[in-house]
Amino acid sequence: MRKEDIDEKVFNLFIDAVDVGDFIEATGHAYVTKRKEQSILVSRWRPLTKSLRPLPEKWHGLQGVEERYRHRALDLLSNKETREIFATRAKLVTAVRAYLDALDFLEVETPMLQPIPGGTTARPFKTHHNALDIDLFLRIAPELYLKRLLVGGYSKVYELARNFRNEGIDVTHNPEFTMLEAYTAYMDYEGLMKFMEVMIKSLVRSVTKKKSLEYQGKTIDFSKPFKSLTFYDAIGQYALLPGIEKMKYDELVIVAKRFGISVHSNSTAEALMEDIFRKAVRPHLVQPTFIINHPVSLLPLAKKSAKNPHTVESFQLYIGGLELVKGFSELNDPMDQKKRFEEQEELRRKGDEEAAPADVDFIENLEYGMPPAAGFGIGIDRFVLLLTNTHNLREVILFPTLRPKS
């Protein structure tokens, strides 16, 4: 804008009234500056939106971590890195849909408000519906509804599900998060592991155009075959506790306390082993590694192993120390499922608020016959952590759950 090309009063009004953050409309002739920048030689202008608050300082942006989460709009406006993280997240979601759609999976939607919070072991959020006068729960997982669709004749289904779990908040947990859950008939967990390895490698290449990633100072190589260890062998190798499955409960309590793990009155032997695994094993699983064949009580919806009835046909995929994928052969025996629910109900009576409640309607659906199937869940938020070399889950969720300012 030049004084000689525009009315002096209009020029002075611009100088006096316009601030960084204002939106204006400018009319004039297009031209190229001496620095070869495309621009407009302004003949007139008018304000569109007036900024009433100062924007973050141009070069340093919004620096306080909590402030960045609380004022995400300003964070996006002032930090290019933040915008790139969420652009990567969008690319991942698009790539997931394209991958599964190409394999004839059907994308579906299942209830977020459920009369019984089933599908995994977690503490739910509870609400009340006034018109029906019933208590409902925010979805902790879509699993039991997706498996009803297998009973209904669909052979491949998936959902990008928003889940809610009333649990603690840390760098890898947020009460509201996004999961991909998918189920395919006529496949077991071993076939699903092969499927999963190909899918994860494909998604990494599709989003990043690379075969390796830098994550927290370490290079993760996706060009090699994924490793595989049983749950018990992993504890033996990394926690130096071979034969942990043979330990008595009192011995497990002593070992757990040695690792700094809190032991509660309702802690089971399997739960203590899982805590030991998280504490002593998970940090070592940097390169993609399947942990397979978990104790039965840890996965009440998974099919028992034909080789060892005390374990299930399951896997968890760890990358960069993060649990990224959980999958298993789906339990389709209604009698066994009913017994497992009863065992979970007993844990609930003993005070375990995360134990899975019995879902009688789901068992009735199984009684009509569900084909042999395998299913998996991928934590989308954690996947974005890996793809963007980010440490804290709140960096990859646009509006994470935060404690209100006092």
Q: Tell me if 3-54 shares its fold with 73-239+281-395.
A: no
**Separation of CA 284 from chain center:** 21
What value does the mean pLDDT of the chain take? 94
Taking the mean position of all CA atoms in its chain, how far away is CA 195? Answer: 19
How many Cβ atoms are within 10 Å of 74's Cβ, its own excluded?
17
d(CA 359, CA 341): 8
**Closest of 12, 51, 4, 6 to residue 27, by C-alpha:** 6
pLDDT higher than threshold 80 for residue 61? no
Whether residue 115 is predicted with pLDDT greater than 90 in this model: the reply is yes
pLDDT digits (tens, 9 = 90+) for 335-364: 999 999 999 999 888 888 888 899 999 999
Backbone angles phi, psi at 83, to 5 degrees: -60, -35
User: Bridge partners of 23?
Assistant: 49
End-to-end CA distance of the chain: 46
Q: What is the pLDDT of residues 219-230, one digit of tens each?
A: 999 999 999 999
Buried b (16+ CB within 10 A) or exposed e, 158-169: bbbbebbbbeee
Q: What percent of the chain has pLDDT over 70?
A: 98
Tokens representing 60 are 């340093």
Residues 10-41: tens digit of each pLDDT: 899 999 999 989 999 999 999 999 999 999 99
State the CATH class of domain 3-54: mainly beta
Q: Which CATH class is domain 73-239+281-395?
A: alpha beta
Rg of the Cα atoms in the chain:
27
Average pLDDT score over residue span 247-260: 95
Q: What does the domain layout of the chain look like in residue ranges?
A: 3-54, 73-239+281-395
Residue type, 340: R
pLDDT at 68: 87
Report the percent of the chain where pLDDT is more than 90. 85
On whether the CB atoms of residues 79 and 65 are closer than 8 A, the answer is: no
Flag whether pLDDT at 70 surpasses 50.
yes
pLDDT of amino acid 4: 86
Residue 315 has pLDDT above 50, yes or no: yes
**Is pLDDT of 121 > 90?**
no
Length of the chain: 406
DSSP H or E run through 208: helix 189-208
Instruction: Tell me which DSSP letter residue 45 carries.
Output: E
273 is written with which tokens?
Answer: 């082993």
Q: Mean of the pLDDT values across residues 308-329?
A: 97
- Kindly tell me if the per-residue pLDDT of 59 is higher than 70: no
* Residue given tokens 């009698």 in the structure block: 335
> What pLDDT is attached to residue 385?
97
pLDDT tens-digit profile of 192-216? 999 999 999 999 999 999 999 999 9
Number of H helices, E strands in the chain: 12, 15
pTM of the model: 0.92
Tell me which amino acid residue 92 is: L
Q: How far is CA 177 from CA 241, 258, 303, in A?
A: 34, 32, 26
Q: What confidence score (pLDDT) does residue 133 get? A: 98
Q: Cα–Cα distance between 202 and 195 in angstroms, integer?
A: 11
Tell whether the model's pLDDT for residue 58 goes beyond 70.
no
Residue with more model confidence, 78 or 275: 275
